[in-house]
Structure 1
Amino acid sequence: MNKKIIIAIDGHSSTGKSTVARQLAKELGYIYVDTGAMYRAVTLYAMRKCYIDKHHFNREALERFLPFINIKFEVNSKTGLAEVFLNNENVEKTIRKLDVSNFVSQIAAVSLVRKKLVEQQQLMGKDKGIVMDGRDIGTVVFPEAELKLFMTATAKDRAERRYKELIDRGEKVTYEDVLKNVVDRDHIDSTRKDSPLRKAEDAIVIDNSNLTLNEQFSQILNIAKNVIEGKAN
């Protein structure tokens, strides 16, 4: 019987980390944790409390109220997919909007926010058999993960995918705004002092600029199966 492992998927924004992580977990019978959704939930909380907007960010207020933020995942019985709940409210769709995306990297750069969420993420992975995606999973959350992937693509390709996704959801956005969001998030994620986005030394790079979703998933699934079988030997 194959041993269960931890699969850590890191990479730039809008590279499809969540999609492939969800597919992989389903195929392997593993638990999937979308850490980006956790940071988005905190961002939504901060926006609703008026701690952050285009003109200011009241970091101290957010840090003070962190103990009152409860984030959990519950499986939707109809879709079989895990959805995010913020203080018992299903916010799965709300947190995916561009206005939340515009502030999430600033929220994720707050050390106390990262500390709170990293502790929760590490607890989720204590029994292994988990696929987790984010920005620092292979470097900070699970540096001992048996499989680490780092996903990337050009900013143009990522913006085009994200734009189409938002338009398909009925959001009124421009491609220019989406591209700016992608570039800005790359800069903030890569230059923040606490747990910046970087590739773990032993991570496998997946550049999906020219890959279809099926090609990407097939490549990653083969890598995962090889690692799992190797661990079982």
Structure 2
Amino acid sequence: MSAAAARKRLVIAVDGPAASGKGTLARRLAAHYGLPYLDTGLLYRMVARAMLDAGHEIRDAEAAALIVNSFDETAFPEERLRGREIGEAASVVAAMPAVRAGLLARQRRFAAQAGGAVLDGRDIGTVICPDAPAKLFVTATPEVRAARRHKELLGRGEAVPFDGILADIRRRDARDSGRNDAPLKAADDAVTLDTSALTVEEAFAAAIGIIEQRRAA
């Protein structure tokens, strides 16, 4: 790739905890800039779904290591990758070093597309795309994130108590932040965007401002 083409590439790394709004924001950014988008969390959900479908215990690291190198990304309708149970299972397999290593190449190939890409996850700015010119760390308070997830699940017909969702959020935060391999954290050069008190439009406008500042620099 020429130096000029490299300068024109735009890779946007969007990291953050569950229900922070990073997925919604990343999709909006991808549409705005005309870039392909990857929800990397779906990859971990695919591994978890493949394990559950095969009858494996979700903490079976050996089974996960085999599955991560063989699963077909097109084999899982998105509706089978959503919901509280599969989200919790994905958080478990995401803490396995073999799973993270197995998905690393897939994510980096996606990010290496000619014009760039938008990726969201937990370790995009720190591990997958450490050289991305634009990095956002999207967050919100656990209570706000639990309220968002509660509303989402109710909309899908899942009657789950708010307190249970808040406990899930806190447990996932502890697991994601405390794992040894690629823990959830903001990259040193990422800009933190707290969406606790922002609407979707306000968060989007703030993100565009951050990205444009980075591009100008």
State TM-score, norm by structure 1. 0.86
Asked whether the 8 Å contact 1:63–1:112 carries over to 2, the reply is yes
Letter in 1 for 2:208: L
Structure-2 separation of matches of 1:38 and 1:89: 10
Structure-2 separation of matches of 1:110 and 1:199: 20
Structure-to-structure mapping, 1:103-114, within 5 angstroms: 103-114=89-100
For structure 2, the residue ranges without an aligned partner over 5 or more in a row are none
Structure-2 separation of matches of 1:209 and 1:161: 10
Asked whether the 8 Å contact 2:20–2:138 carries over to 1, the reply is yes
- Which residue number corresponds to residue 178 of structure 1? 165
- Which residue number corresponds to residue 123 of structure 2? 136
**Alignment deviations for residues 121-147 of structure 1 (CA, whole Å, 9 cap, x no partner):** 101111342110000000000100001
What displacement does 1:110 show? 0.9
Q: Of residues 6, 12, 22 in structure 2, which corresponds to 1:7? A: 12
Asked whether the 8 Å contact 1:51–1:59 carries over to 2, the reply is no
Asked whether the 8 Å contact 2:65–2:102 carries over to 1, the reply is no
Equivalent position SS for 2:189: coil
Asked whether the 8 Å contact 1:150–1:205 carries over to 2, the reply is yes
Q: Whose helix fraction is larger, Structure 1's or Structure 2's?
A: 2
Identity of aligned residues (%): 37
Structure-to-structure mapping, 1:1-233, within 5 angstroms: 3-52=8-57, 57-71=59-73, 85=74, 88-90=75-77, 92-126=78-112, 127-228=114-215, 230=216
Where do 4+ consecutive residues of structure 1 move more than 4 Å?
Answer: none
Equivalent position SS for 1:67: coil
**Alignment deviations for residues 64-113 of structure 1 (CA, whole Å, 9 cap, x no partner):** 33332122xxxxxxxxxxxxx3xx342x1221111111221110011111
What displacement does 1:118 show? 1.3
Structure-1 separation of matches of 2:69 and 2:16: 28
Structure-2 separation of matches of 1:192 and 1:135: 12
Q: Give the 3 Å change call, closer, same or farther, for CA 4–65 of structure 1 in structure 2.
A: closer
Asked whether the 8 Å contact 2:21–2:139 carries over to 1, the reply is no
Count of residue pairs brought into register by the alignment = 211
Asked whether the 8 Å contact 1:101–1:181 carries over to 2, the reply is no
Structure-2 separation of matches of 1:129 and 1:137: 14
Equivalent position SS for 1:131: strand
Q: Whose strand fraction is larger, Structure 1's or Structure 2's?
A: 1
State TM-score, norm by structure 2. 0.92
What displacement does 1:225 show? 2.8
What displacement does 1:226 show? 3.2
